[in-house]
Structure 1
Amino acid sequence: STPAAAPATTIGGGGGVNIYQWLPFTQQDLTAASRATVAFAADYENWSYTEPAQAYVAKMNGLVTTNFAASLQNSYATPGVAALRSAQKQISTSSGGIASIRSFGTGSITFVVNIAQRLATTSGTSNSTKQYAVTVVSNATGWQVNDVELAGAGNQ
């Protein structure tokens, strides 16, 4: 027997295409998820050596899940990292933008995000841009960041 043909999907013409019918999220979800991601990107590499870990994470309140907030706080307070930040009087400012969508599933979207950082220290100032994979999840309070890692690390 011959397999049944899949229904034809036309692109173009008068009706246009609603790609969201094929995705596990709505256009509004994508907008909300991307807003949370960009807001997080602005805060992630924005800190000062005078800022305690609790204050660093507090500015991301509502943007990150509770578990991820605890992880960020622990990472920020790591003794060797915190001591270097203080010794060099590091102050970091940043901005970020979404480069692409890496993956998605029901209730989860991973964006590739470019974060530009300006780092001022007692030795001078440097500028760099890094790509991160930022995963946001949908929960009762909206879309929140649940994970961040360098875009080149892990599974891609």
Structure 2
Amino acid sequence: MNLNDRQRKLLFGGLVVVLALVGVYLTIAAPGDDSGGASDRPSAAASTPSTGPTGPASPPAGIQSAVNPNDFDVYRLLPFSRQEFATAADLAQRFVAAYGTYRFDEDPQVYIGRLAGLVTEALRGELARGAAAPGIQDERRREQVVAQGTATLDRVRDIEDNSIIFLVTGKQQLTRAGKNGGDSKQWAVTIARDGGSLKVYAFQPADTGQAGDTG
């Protein structure tokens, strides 16, 4: 379309007015739009999840305040809570007592059944193979061995991120070939996290040493 000079001037003037009106509208309307948009968006405080129980900290929470010898919580510096520590100690003691309790006329599977809930699956397999060994069974039947085990917690040998090693003394009241006697041996017992629970991971005579952390 061909426009003369007058028409071009009128068109240019009209565009200037339109652009000016648009600019004024945006200047006035923008703050209102922002406040309206903000009301639809959650604030930082509203979007932050509420704080709730998260379980034991790992690693445990440190101690920033001055240490008070009369009110010192050592478990805040350990990778195991007080409850876990007590559970592990009880487990080590019960395992050694159960390990030292058996009869010559008892099926090895019954003996292993008493230990099964205390140990890892791998250790259970090792214990089952040892209990069923023909030489051991033959000797116990021949001498009609009856053993009643008890155990005493001695001390903690080592603590790692996933395991605790206890020194435990196992004592046995023995009847062998009609004679009463006793035996005593100290064991190094490793209690480790196994899934969501604690289990006996390994054990051996205390004087031979013991591997610590299980990973």
* Interval of TM-score (by shorter of Structure 1 and Structure 2): 0.7 to 0.9
Structure 1 unmatched ranges of 5 or more = 1-6
Is 1:134 aligned to 2:209, yes or no? no
Matched with 2:67 is 10
Output the CA distance in 2 between the equivalents of 1:108 and 1:12: 27
Find the counterpart in structure 2 of residue 81 from structure 1. Answer: 136
Which one of the candidate residues 77, 94, 103 is aligned to 1:22? 77
Bigger shift: 106-115 or 141-150? 141-150
Q: CA deviation at 1:35?
A: 1.4
Runs of 4+ in 1 over 6 A off after TM superposition: none
Q: Which runs of 5+ in 2 are unaligned?
A: 1-63
Higher strand share: 1
Alignment of 1:58-97 (within 5 A): 58-97=113-152
Q: How many residues align?
A: 148
Using the TM superposition, give the Cα deviation of residue 104 of structure 1 relative to its aligned residue in structure 2, in angstroms: 1.5
Code of the aligned partner of 1:104: I
- After superposition, what is the alpha-carbon deviation per residue over 1:16-47, rounded to whole angstroms, capped at 9, x for unaligned? 11111221111111011111112212201000
Q: Cα RMSD between the aligned structures?
A: 1.8
Whole-angstrom CA distance in 1 between matches of 2:196 and 2:140: 33
Task: Return the offset for 1:79.
Answer: 2.0
Give how far 1:52 is off: 2.1
Deviation at 1:139, TM superposition (A): 2.0
Deviation at 1:148, TM superposition (A): 1.3
What amino acid is the match of 1:96?
A
Q: Name the amino acid aligned to 2:128.
A: Q
Residue 186 of structure 2 aligns to a residue whose secondary structure is strand
Same amino acid, percent of matched pairs: 24
Per-residue deviation, residues 51-84 of structure 1 (Å, max 9, x unmatched): 1221111012211111111111111122222211
Partner of 1:102: 157
- Superposed displacement of residue 8, structure 1: 8.3
Letter of the 2:133 partner, please give it: T
Of structures 1 and 2, the one with the larger relative CO (CA 8 A, separation 6+) is 1
Residue 177 (structure 2) pairs with residue 117 (structure 1): no
The one-letter code sitting in structure 1 at the alignment partner of 2:67 is T
Larger Rg: 2
Task: Write 1 or 2 for the structure with the bigger share of helix.
Answer: 2
8 Å CA contact 2:188–2:209 kept in 1: the answer is no
Q: In structure 1, what is the equivalent of residue 91 of structure 2?
A: 36
Q: Secondary structure at the match of 2:183?
A: strand
Please report the TM-score for the alignment, with normalisation by the length of structure 1: 0.86
Does 1:45 find its partner at 2:106?
A: no
1:82-105 superposed Cα distances (whole Å, 9 cap, x missing partner): 211111111100110210011111
Q: Which residue of 2 aligns with 1:143?
A: 198
